[in-house]
A and B are shown apart, each in its own frame.
Chain A
Amino acid sequence: MISEPKHASEPSYLEYKGKHKGILAWILSTDHKRIGLLYLYTIMSFFVVGATLGLLMKLELIAPGKTIMEAQMYNVTFTLHGIIMIFVIVIPGLPAVFGNFFLPIMIGAKDVAFPRLNLLSWWVYIAGIILVLIALFTGDGPPDTGWTFYAPYSFKTAGNMLPAVFGAFVLGFSSILTGLNFIVTIHRMRAPGMRWMKMPIFPWTLYGTAWIQLLATPIIGITLLMVAGERLFNIGFFDPALGGDPILYQHLFWIYSHPAVYIMILPAMGAISEIIPTFARKEIFGYKFVVGSTLAIAFVGYFVWGHHMFTSGMSGTALFAFSILTFLVAIPSAIKVFNWISTLYKGSIRMETPLYWALSFIFVFMIGGLSGLMQGAVAINVHVHDTHFIVAHFHFIVFGGTGFAFFGAMHYWFPKIWGRMYDAAWANTGWIIFFIGFLSLYGPMFYLGLQGMPRRYYDYDESFHGGNILSSLGAIIMIAGAMVIIVNLIRSARKGAPAVADPWGGRGLEWKIPSPPPLENFDEIPVIK
């Protein structure tokens, strides 16, 4: 802790001067660390947009009837909130930011396998975002279908669907390229002596994630192309008037979009599995089980998509099969929770901001996961389908899971990325405000949903008013917490105290090199004993 950072033989990746200057030195850089930060800055900018849209929805729902917007405006708002949050933020999320930055370092490589392809992925990602933005500002108004683009409405609505659909397609392509790059990197570029079962957990979860990105994303690609075909040529794939089956659209959509949930949560679990052992000063408990459950989640998660469609008119056999499979996928997730708790047990715990995030992650993930298990039962699912219960559940998983892990990873690796420490007092203050805001924002939705308040309406019955006031106040508190966190991080990245190479006593390779890392990470490739 007291030793000064080692002076690297070459400048850090932040200071390195290539053949380009200014912003070009970033947006044309093939360095995996700079690309990781490009993703981070893009994601954070759009997080502000997505969160603002979410806040507007909560303000609309603070009282029954029209508060700040009309019904159509509300439809557009939740659609954009969904598209931006899912496709632009959480799906690239941890893999694109921390995966890009830390995967090569953690396995002892100088870069990913295809650095130029990596840069291309970011550009493709930006192109996808631009297409989505075009949908907003051209044509007969923005999309209003929800982020699921359900047929047949998605090719009947007057909203400007085509650019949004192509945008999602292009974003998927970027996700595929990142996954492809990571798999080849992990197969070919592990440092000498780093056998598969010696690889840290975070790269393992990225490996599982990358396979899902690779094998699930093309399905949404082709499905969105078919929707585009419907709109352009009136083919009839999903149009009942021409013999098509809209439920088939739902199958195809969820064959991708359920595994996509695991694209979001697996790397989050990986980050948590790095944070907890570091601050408990122990090895992770049951390494093989954590690895095995990662792969099991990736595999079983591929075959549970139908639980999004329990009320859509599937056969009874399918209901039964999907319900069983859904219960199965909960087992490996639970194994992970037990591993985290066991790692903490009798550990020499050091409470720092990343651990606060990790512990609150476990708390909200448990609530989200168990409420998901409830919906895996067909009878309960029919009762709560399309209510605020669902909204609460997936925000506990996607935001409470991935989001908390993202902030945790952000603070954990902050000293390594920028070579400076964040202000711990402000970071902890931000966390507690955010956590309280989060619980009061989404907690009441469970209750409202069980009472029967449907989702995706701008209006509601007077009897739901109390819970909605609490929820909307929670949104304001949470946004305030997020502002404290982000302002603190930005300030600290510029003015924080210099960080040593290993401020937390971490064991991974990323803590063996200077903060911030030099351009090529390692002077010489490490050999693992």
Chain B
Amino acid sequence: MEVHRDDEGSKIGMWLFLFTEMVLFSGLFIVYSVYRYLNREAFHQAAAHLDVALGTINTIILLASSATIAMSISAIQYQKKKQALALLTATVVLGLVFLVNKYFEWGEKIGHGIYPGSETLASYGHGDVLFFGLYYFMTGLHALHIVIGLVFIGFVIWYIAKDRITHDNFSVHENSGLYWHLVDLIWIFLFPLFYLIT
């Protein structure tokens, strides 16, 4: 059977997959908004525990990484392989820095006894339990998506280095970009919901 190539079809497929991811997270946004509505005061108080500066830095890091991967797709179309590789590597580095920041942020919270199921957290009251439950669950799931995205981009780098992705065959590259932007898109909503609305 001849190999059937349909870049537009792959892109539709990727978008459809992104829709399922959006709906997946929207389930959590429903839970968040319901519990925020039911525990308004407690959510305000609890959000104040999070470090706005760290959150802002991470937001800018993710936005920048989104720009670099988008630029790398232009680079591959301009047939500038080295630039494309450099921009993708920058994306991976920024993604890793985001994860490291996240690690310290979580570590600090856990160090203070704030984690699901802990006695300390339970003593703060129901609103805090739900806020931090959602915080860990949603940022955790988001971080998992970052890890998957980094692996995906790693493959793209490998393919470009091996010339399997070129200026006239870069569908995989483009789709990895779409996936990475989705991760960014979700963070754009997570950031105000957890860090800003205090």
Are A248 and B16 neighbours in the complex by a CB distance under 8 Å? no
Instruction: Kindly provide the distance from the CB of B60 to the nearest chain A CB, expressed in whole angstroms.
Output: 28
Are A243 and B39 neighbours in the complex by a CB distance under 8 Å? yes
B residues less than 8 Å from A218 (CB atoms):
20-21, 23-24, 27
A residues less than 8 Å from B149 (CB atoms):
none
Q: Which of B106-114, B129-137, B151-159 contacts A (4 or more CB under 8 A)?
A: B129-137
Q: Is A176 an interface residue (CB 8 A)?
A: yes
Q: Is A319 an interface residue (CB 8 A)?
A: no
B residues less than 8 Å from A236 (CB atoms):
116, 126, 129-130, 133
Q: Is B122 an interface residue (CB 8 A)?
A: yes
Given contacts A226-B137, A252-B31, contact A176 B130 (CB under 8 A): no
- Could you tell me which residues of chain B, from 118 to 133, have a CB within 8 Å of some CB in chain A? 122, 125-127, 129-130, 133
- Could you tell me which residues of chain A, from 227 to 253, have a CB within 8 Å of some CB in chain B? 229, 233-237, 242-245, 248, 251-252
Instruction: Kindly provide the distance from the CB of A25 to the nearest chain B CB, expressed in whole angstroms.
Output: 15
Are A215 and B38 neighbours in the complex by a CB distance under 8 Å? no
Are A183 and B16 neighbours in the complex by a CB distance under 8 Å? yes
B residues less than 8 Å from A216 (CB atoms):
23
Are B20 and A217 neighbours in the complex by a CB distance under 8 Å? yes
- Could you tell me which residues of chain A, from 67 to 81, have a CB within 8 Å of some CB in chain B? none
Are B126 and A188 neighbours in the complex by a CB distance under 8 Å? no
Are A222 and B27 neighbours in the complex by a CB distance under 8 Å? yes
Q: Is A110 an interface residue (CB 8 A)?
A: yes
For B25, the closest partner residue in chain A by CB is A222
- Could you tell me which residues of chain B, from 11 to 44, have a CB within 8 Å of some CB in chain A? 12-13, 16-17, 19-21, 23-28, 30-31, 34-35, 38-39
Q: Is A187 an interface residue (CB 8 A)?
A: yes
The residue from B24, B30, B31, B117 contacting A221, defined by CB atoms under 8 A apart: B24
A residues less than 8 Å from B129 (CB atoms):
235-236, 242-243
Are B12 and A188 neighbours in the complex by a CB distance under 8 Å? yes
Q: Is B53 an interface residue (CB 8 A)?
A: no
Q: Is A223 an interface residue (CB 8 A)?
A: yes
Q: What separation, in Å, do the CA atoms of A110 and B141 have in the docked complex?
A: 38
A residues less than 8 Å from B20 (CB atoms):
176, 180, 214-215, 217-218
Chain A residue total in the interface (Cβ 8 A) = 41
How would you classify the secondary structure of chain B's contact residues: helix, strand, loop or mixed?
Answer: helix
Given contacts A183-B12, A214-B16, contact A233 B38 (CB under 8 A): no
Instruction: Kindly provide the distance from the CB of A346 to the nearest chain B CB, expressed in whole angstroms.
Output: 42
A residues less than 8 Å from B31 (CB atoms):
226, 237, 248, 252
For A223, the closest partner residue in chain B by CB is B27
For A519, the closest partner residue in chain B by CB is B1
Are B12 and A234 neighbours in the complex by a CB distance under 8 Å? no
Q: Is A184 an interface residue (CB 8 A)?
A: yes
Given contacts A184-B16, A226-B137, A248-B34, contact A242 B130 (CB under 8 A): yes
Are B117 and A184 neighbours in the complex by a CB distance under 8 Å? no
Q: Is B168 an interface residue (CB 8 A)?
A: no
For A31, the closest partner residue in chain B by CB is B1
Are A214 and B19 neighbours in the complex by a CB distance under 8 Å? yes
For A216, the closest partner residue in chain B by CB is B23
Q: Is A219 an interface residue (CB 8 A)?
A: yes
Q: What separation, in Å, do the CA atoms of A225 and B136 have in the docked complex?
A: 13
For A181, the closest partner residue in chain B by CB is B13
Given contacts A226-B137, A243-B39, A243-B129, contact A188 B8 (CB under 8 A): yes
Instruction: Kindly provide the distance from the CB of A341 to the nearest chain B CB, expressed in whole angstroms.
Output: 36
Instruction: Kindly provide the distance from the CB of A329 to the nearest chain B CB, expressed in whole angstroms.
Output: 20
Q: Is A106 an interface residue (CB 8 A)?
A: no
Q: What separation, in Å, do the CA atoms of A465 and B133 have in the docked complex?
A: 49
B residues less than 8 Å from A233 (CB atoms):
116-117
- Could you tell me which residues of chain A, from 511 to 529, have a CB within 8 Å of some CB in chain B? 519-520
For B115, the closest partner residue in chain A by CB is A233
Instruction: Kindly provide the distance from the CB of B35 to the nearest chain A CB, expressed in whole angstroms.
Output: 8
Produce 1/0 per residue, A425-469, CB < 8 A to B.
Answer: 000000000000000000000000000000000000000000000
Instruction: Kindly provide the distance from the CB of B32 to the nearest chain A CB, expressed in whole angstroms.
Output: 11
Q: What separation, in Å, do the CA atoms of A117 and B26 have in the docked complex?
A: 25
Q: Is A91 an interface residue (CB 8 A)?
A: no
A residues less than 8 Å from B117 (CB atoms):
233-235
Q: What separation, in Å, do the CA atoms of A237 and B21 have in the docked complex?
A: 21
Are B130 and A520 neighbours in the complex by a CB distance under 8 Å? no
Are A180 and B27 neighbours in the complex by a CB distance under 8 Å? no
Are B6 and A252 neighbours in the complex by a CB distance under 8 Å? no
B residues less than 8 Å from A214 (CB atoms):
16, 19-20, 23
Q: What separation, in Å, do the CA atoms of A234 and B23 have in the docked complex?
A: 24
B residues less than 8 Å from A117 (CB atoms):
13
Are A237 and B130 neighbours in the complex by a CB distance under 8 Å? yes
Given contacts A223-B27, A242-B126, contact A235 B137 (CB under 8 A): yes
- Could you tell me which residues of chain A, from 111 to 168, have a CB within 8 Å of some CB in chain B? 111, 113-114, 117
User: Can you pick out 21 interface pairs between chain A and chain B where the beta carbons lie within 8 Å of each other?
Assistant: A113-B13, A114-B13, A188-B8, A214-B20, A215-B19, A218-B20, A218-B21, A219-B27, A222-B24, A229-B133, A234-B117, A235-B116, A235-B129, A236-B126, A236-B129, A243-B125, A243-B127, A243-B130, A245-B34, A248-B31, A251-B30
Known: A233-B117, A237-B134. 6 other contacts (CB 8 A): A180-B20, A222-B25, A223-B27, A229-B116, A235-B136, A242-B126
Interface residues of A (CB under 8 A from B): 110-111, 113-114, 117, 176, 179-181, 183-184, 187-189, 214-219, 221-223, 225-226, 229, 233-237, 242-245, 248, 251-252, 255, 519-520
Interface residues of B (CB under 8 A from A): 1, 4, 6, 8-9, 12-13, 16-17, 19-21, 23-28, 30-31, 34-35, 38-39, 116-117, 122, 125-127, 129-130, 133-134, 136-137, 141
